[in-house]
Amino acid sequence: MRRSLHPLAVCLLIFAAAPGAQACFYSSLDLDPARSSQSSLRKLLFGDYEDMAREKRLPQYRKRLMQIEEEIAARGESPDRLDERAILLYRLGRAAEAEAIWTRLLAAEPDRFVTLCNYGTYCEMTGRFDDATTMIARAAALRPKFRGGAEALHAERLRHLLATRDNPATAGTTFWMQDMLPVWQQRAVPPNSLATVKFPRYPLEGIIELLRQFPKFGDGWLVLGMMLENDGQYRYALTAYRKALKYASSQRAVLDDYISLVQAYDDSRGVFTRTGPAFLVMICTLIGAVLAYKVFIVGRDVILDIRRARREAAAEKNDDGHA
């Protein structure tokens, strides 16, 4: 099942972080810098976020840049407007102007979270992993739990890319998350394929948020697949593994065979095994709704009877008073 890894994996891994690679920034067009939880597992797995990104084209960027520049002319320069202007300039090919803005913003406010993330991502996209690591690590320290810790995971991704670039011979023996590597290397046959060693626990939300930001990160998809498989979500895990294969995970030489094993196990479970829990939940929900409706009807009748008795008692009292 395991074959030697081809050095091309390293080249593809570095290419994933090269200029032109897809990434999200904190702006009105991408990630919300004020909202922590903003990504869905289903939307991530089924490519909704990638579809949204593909819908954004140069005309939209030019239009938004005009709006930002009009706002600056009318209301003045704010850090948020300048940050977004820098992102749009970069996406429109005016990288030097974008970098000048980010440099100025950090000179005025060195711990500005949004600027550290955006400038760090820009440095990553242009191959400056050292600068990117410094800025993203600082941002992660400022807001360690934001977006499920996605920026801390981002910093780990950068350290991995930097180490792989400096030492290509480590491809396949190093991993984005080192404590996940023994789990992967000692995998067996599903359903207990990942149970041979202690499975590390990472916040699923953080992985989802990171992959929304970097949807072509193959090893990120592999880790997500392992987490989903370990939780028994085999269909979702298969989708994640296939994306890891598509986006050149460092383990892709052995991943194809492993996907076949997981697929075979999932097929062997049968339709009811896969859908049975959801079906039972639906039945229980329907029964609960029927019972709740009956309780409502009985309760309503009791209240009506009490009100009727009170009215009759009041009417009798009035009759006695007149007599």
The DSSP annotation for 5-46 comes to PPTHHHHHHHHTTSTT-----BSTTSB-TT-S----HHHHHT
Residue whose structure tokens are 């987490």: 227
Q: Domain residue spans in the chain?
A: 8-268, 272-323
For residue 279, the model assigns a pLDDT of 55
Helix (H, G, I), strand (E, B) or coil at 26: strand
pLDDT value, residue 4: 38
8-268, what's its fold?
1.25.40
The radius of gyration of the chain's CA atoms, rounded to the nearest angstrom, is: 28
Q: Which helix (H) or strand (E) holds 236?
A: helix 234-246
CA–CA separation, 150 and 223 (whole Å): 14
pLDDT the model gives residue 310: 76
pLDDT tens-digit profile, the chain (323 residues): 333 344 444 343 443 444 336 799 999 999 999 999 999 999 999 999 988 888 778 899 999 999 999 999 999 999 999 999 999 999 999 999 999 999 999 999 999 999 999 999 999 999 999 999 999 999 999 999 999 999 999 999 999 988 888 887 776 677 888 889 889 989 999 998 888 788 888 889 999 999 999 999 999 999 999 999 999 999 999 999 999 999 999 898 999 999 999 999 999 987 555 555 555 666 777 787 777 777 877 778 778 778 777 776 666 666 666 55
Which of these, 194, 209, 257, lies nearest to 3 by C-alpha position?
Answer: 257
